[in-house]
Amino acid sequence: MENLVEQIKKSAAHLRSKISAEYGYGVILGSGLGNLTSQMKVHQQIPYTDIPGFPVSTVEGHKGSLIFGEMGGKNIVCMNGRFHYYEGYSMHDVTFPIRVMKFLGVHTIMISNASGGMNAAFEVGDLMIITDHIYLQPEHPLRGKNYDELGPRFPNMNQPYDPEMVKRGLAIASANHITCHTGVYVGVQGPTFETPAEYRCFHLMGGDAVGMSTTPEVVVARHMDIKVFAISVITDVGYPFEKADNVSHAFVLEKAAEAEPKMTKIIVELLHQI
């Protein structure tokens, strides 16, 4: 059995044989946010099923692709569709594409997600630039053998989200009259949405938004010293209870799609500026 580094190198070598440019920026698209790709000048689209080493779904027809192209004046590689722990993947599987991106030359990553608001100031459709997170998923992507060529055994998580990109993101939102907060993202397993007591608990522990992705990806990006910018679309409110939505997956997808152009605007402008 190949070790993790060999698997990453194999995937990266395969992708390199298909592409002819350098891609320094990664983008991960959250649920309902796929329309960002309509702003890309696409060079190449490669289904996950064609990439050796990428997780294979045993459960359902597996969609998603890596899209190589240009946006905001930069060459980007975009994950259109991500792997979630609740689907049954291991945390190594969930984060494998980020490892491969690093080996393709990605130094900066922009991560998006749909999430539930737990801050009284947040409304459905608002954006939140993530400034910190609380990792509450049940498995950690760095558990097990550490490969020193990937990163340190005990990574520092003192400043996981790049402060310069947070500042620029907020300024872009303000210049474009987009309501955009900053806050703490709580990463949970799912797939249930939270009970009222859970939303309140996460609020009390310091969370502003909760979702089922992102934190493992950020951990692995930081392990490999990739700079991170992350943004949540608030698709539903969970706390305070009086204004809580009766959330469903369809509701999340609908609200994410409505807010997607605002998020895309920020990401495109940010790519231009950095």
**Cα→Cα distances 166→120, 125, 151, 231, 239, Å:** 21, 19, 24, 9, 24
Q: Nearest approach, Cβ of 125 to ligand HPA (angstroms)?
A: 13
Q: Nearest approach, Cβ of 138 to ligand HPA (angstroms)?
A: 15
Segment 64-93, which members bind ligand HPA (CB under 6 A)? none
Q: Nearest approach, Cβ of 114 to ligand HPA (angstroms)?
A: 4
Q: Which stretch binds ligand HPA (CB under 6 A): 38-46, 56-64, 111-119, 140-148?
A: 111-119
Q: Nearest approach, Cβ of 79 to ligand HPA (angstroms)?
A: 17
- Among 252, 267, 270, 271, interactor with ligand HPA by CB under 6 A: 252
User: Are 19 and 37 spatial neighbours (Cβ–Cβ below 8 Å)?
Assistant: no
Q: Nearest approach, Cβ of 180 to ligand HPA (angstroms)?
A: 17
- Among 115, 119, 137, 214, interactor with ligand HPA by CB under 6 A: 115
- Among 114, 130, 221, 268, interactor with ligand HPA by CB under 6 A: 114
d(CA 54, CA 194): 30
Q: Nearest approach, Cβ of 176 to ligand HPA (angstroms)?
A: 24
Residue 7 touches ligand HPA, criterion: CB under 6 A: no
Q: Which stretch binds ligand HPA (CB under 6 A): 15-23, 65-73, 79-87, 109-117?
A: 109-117
Residue nearest to ligand HPA (CB): 116
Contacts of 184 (CB under 8 A, 6+ apart): 130, 131, 132, 133, 134, 206, 207, 208, 209
Cβ count within 10 A of residue 21: 12
Segment 198-227, which members bind ligand HPA (CB under 6 A)? 210-212
d(CA 7, CA 265): 35
Q: Which stretch binds ligand HPA (CB under 6 A): 56-64, 148-156, 200-208, 231-239?
A: 231-239
- Among 29, 235, 264, 269, interactor with ligand HPA by CB under 6 A: 235
DSSP-based three-state secondary structure for 6: helix
Segment 128-147, which members bind ligand HPA (CB under 6 A)? none
Question: How many residues belong to the chain?
Answer: 274
Which positions lie near ligand HPA, rule CB under 6 A?
114-116, 190, 193-194, 210-212, 235-236, 238, 247, 252
